[in-house]
Structure 1
Amino acid sequence: MAAKANSSPSELVQAHVDLWNLTYSYHKSMALQCAVELGIPTAIHRRGGAASLPDLLATLPVPQARKPHLPRLMRFLVVTGVLALDAAPAGDAGSSGGVYRLTPLSRLLVDDAGAGARANGCTGTASLAPFVLAQTNRYHVGAAMRLSEWFRGGPDGDDTPFRMAHGTDQWDAWRRDPEVNKVFMDGLGADSQLTMDFVVTRCGEVFDGVGTLVDVGGGNGSTARAIARAFPHVRCSVLDLAHVIGHIQPSDGVQYIVGDMMSSIPPADAVLLKVTYTSSYLVITLLTSRTMHALKHFF
């Protein structure tokens, strides 16, 4: 009752709307994951950047029995800004509900890189579809579902919701599950490539005077390869664990070094560390000390 006494009718209505929005927000992530897995952005791109519902029904890998449900997913993707919809002209008897178009967001999810993609307004770089799949995989979702349980207690060894849900930490889980490990590494690599395309064209001066660089936890090496291509004078190396890079051969002037960044970091003029999530203070402290040890030979 206190909330009603202190809030105006319009504030209560807005609060109710916000509450519903937050409560159902997980549907946005799952719908985005579904759009990527079905290849909806790429299907629209391949039809010149615009496609009707019949076009998509004829193209997407959806069984006949599930096709009647596709319009609901498409409407949801429009409402959330993943796609745009050009409504059919009024009185158009031959209309099938309008035409779906890509938005700036969904252009990032098209997996046809190159000149054809650029011609339709896409980035022409690596698709971020792998990043979406990496961050919505069953391990992450399962860990998120245990958040309140983790706060309330549990075994002392469960230092994170991830460990509570899966009995191990993220890196060991990836080591045990090569398929998910590949999805995760492809996702980070795709995100890094898009980021580095911007960095090398807009911030290239940061590499002036750099002769050697080691990308710590560099995964499949997409970041290091982008730097090596743009700045041939920089000798790039990638440091990561064996299950991540043990199978990768040197390419594009990039060397791969199997090792643990928490134990040692090879000396270099520059150390690159891209953090995609919040690490603990202990990890930050260890990384700082290892990085200073790696750089001290040059100053």
Structure 2
Amino acid sequence: MAKLNDGESKTKILGAQNHVETQEEEEVVLEAAIDTWKYVLGYVEMAAVKCAIELGISEAMENHGQPITLSELSTSLDCSPSSLHRIMRLLVHQKLFKETISPEDQTKYYSLTPITRLLKNHDHSMAALVLLESSPVMLAPWHALSGRVRDEGRAAFEATHGESLWDYNAKHPKHSKLVNDAMASNARIVLPVVLKGRAEVFEGIGTVVDVGGGNGSALQTMIKAFPWIKGINFDLPHVVAAAPEIAGVEHVGGSMLEFVPKADAAFVMNVLHDWGDEECITILRKCREAVPKDKGKVIMVEAVIKEEKHEIDDEKEEKLKGLRLMMDMVMMAHTTTGKERTQQEWEYVVTQAGFTKCIVKPIQAIPSIIIAYP
């Protein structure tokens, strides 16, 4: 074998190093491309889940009473087995449904998971939230998000539909009902966590006004837990006009920017994040005026964003932080000045509204409990 001189040896070594670097760079690019595809196809999972809800897959499985085959499921739903198989294949891979295979004849059986149990039409369903956020009305503003970033004075929803979400809801009862159903489904999931984990917050309260209470579902859950409480469901006139009669609840129409009905405590859940600081301070002032100065309180159930890394305790809290940050993007897309706030930002609006004390109580959910005292 011919011996290489020093120049040739250096060339060979450098060539080998460059080849390794090129391989490493290619792997990095390929990995980045795979990650990017997750964003390219990010809408697919939502669309498939919406399809499952509209078809009633979870209900069909529940009614069947035991793991179900594709043939049985397609017959129950009266749909194409081949198309249904493709939907189920994706949702099984995403762990929304469970798939088991019979060792005797290799037949596949499908069953529910904790997630898909929440997609059925029942009291603790989150199906309405999925149907709302995946509706054409709510999806369209996302295409105008960059415009919202450039022009902070105009919401992406307003740029898309020519009016605010609230004005749109007032003119479109069907969409307004979809919004109210979605908010009610969220309340039915979150409120029991609030009531069980922080029941002491409601001690000594005889009357509660739910500010922006929608169809009254939150008060209904609250009164079931604390039967001595009398509730006032306060929302815009067209909202309370469509609200059902609820024992122990009085529906009152009006604008929270103008007044709030008198009560021992004001309850505000997932409402203040729809508004900028100025409107938020006005609403809180109206709430402060509505409750007694000596023993009144305003109970808010709102997200509190933790910005510092040391504030995150565990993997679940990290997941919750991600959801809160995504909720902040929802506020950017659908409201003009709304946002999710840090604890410091909450303390600012509460103080500016004239309250003397503010306490934040975390719970195992996206929002926390924020209590303001006059």
Alignment of 1:161-172 (within 5 A): 161-172=156-167
Partner of 1:122: none
Q: Which segment is superposed worse, 214-223 or 70-79? A: 70-79
**Which structure has the larger Rg over C-alpha atoms?**
2
Q: Which amino acid aligns with 2:255?
A: D
Relative contact order higher in (CA < 8 Å, ≥ 6 apart): 2
State the shift of 1:250 in Å: 4.0
Of 230, 251, 255, 1:235 maps to: 230
Partner of 2:8: none
Partner of 1:117: none
Cα distance in 2 between the residues matched to 1:200 and 1:210: 13
The question of 1:295 aligning with 2:321 is answered no
Partner of 1:25: 42
Cα distance in 2 between the residues matched to 1:253 and 1:8: 66
Cα distance in 2 between the residues matched to 1:127 and 1:87: 28
Q: Which amino acid aligns with 2:32?
A: A
Partner of 1:204: 199
Identity across aligned pairs (percent)? 29
1:158-193 Cα shifts (integer Å, max 9, x gaps): 711101111111111111111111111111111111
Of 280, 287, 291, 2:276 maps to: 280
Is the Cα–Cα contact under 8 Å of residues 49 and 102 in structure 1 kept in the other structure? no
Q: Which amino acid aligns with 2:105?
A: D
The question of 1:43 aligning with 2:60 is answered yes
Change (3 A) 1:30 1:249: closer
Structure 1 length normalisation: TM-score? 0.83
State the shift of 1:296 in Å: 5.0
Is the Cα–Cα contact under 8 Å of residues 233 and 250 in structure 2 kept in the other structure? yes
Cα distance in 1 between the residues matched to 2:251 and 2:155: 31
Q: Which amino acid aligns with 2:88?
A: M
Residue aligned with 2:46, SS: helix
Residue aligned with 1:271, SS: strand
Cα distance in 2 between the residues matched to 1:252 and 1:171: 28
Q: Which amino acid aligns with 1:211?
A: G
State the shift of 1:280 in Å: 2.3
Alignment of 1:94-133 (within 5 A): 95=107, 98-111=108-121, 113=122, 125-133=123-131
Of 99, 102, 107, 1:85 maps to: 99
1:2-26 Cα shifts (integer Å, max 9, x gaps): xx98x75554333222111122111
1:180-209 Cα shifts (integer Å, max 9, x gaps): 111111111111112223333333222111
RMSD: 2.5
Is the Cα–Cα contact under 8 Å of residues 215 and 244 in structure 2 kept in the other structure? no
Cα distance in 2 between the residues matched to 1:23 and 1:205: 47
Is the Cα–Cα contact under 8 Å of residues 249 and 256 in structure 1 kept in the other structure? no
Cα distance in 2 between the residues matched to 1:70 and 1:127: 22
1:248-288 Cα shifts (integer Å, max 9, x gaps): 35422011110111111112221111116553223322222
Q: Which runs of 5+ in 2 are unaligned?
A: 1-20, 296-374
Change (3 A) 1:82 1:249: closer
Cα distance in 1 between the residues matched to 2:204 and 2:218: 19
Of Structure 1 and Structure 2, which has the larger fraction of its residues in strand?
2
Cα distance in 1 between the residues matched to 2:27 and 2:241: 59
Q: Which amino acid aligns with 1:287?
A: I
Is the Cα–Cα contact under 8 Å of residues 135 and 184 in structure 1 kept in the other structure? no
Of 201, 221, 240, 1:226 maps to: 221
Is the Cα–Cα contact under 8 Å of residues 267 and 297 in structure 1 kept in the other structure? no
Change (3 A) 1:241 1:17: same
Change (3 A) 1:197 1:50: farther
Change (3 A) 1:249 1:295: same
1:118-160 Cα shifts (integer Å, max 9, x gaps): xxxxxxx43221121122211110111222344456xx9x711
Residue aligned with 1:191, SS: helix
Is the Cα–Cα contact under 8 Å of residues 126 and 190 in structure 1 kept in the other structure? yes
Partner of 2:316: none
State the shift of 1:290 in Å: 1.9
Q: Which runs of 5+ in 1 are unaligned?
A: 114-124
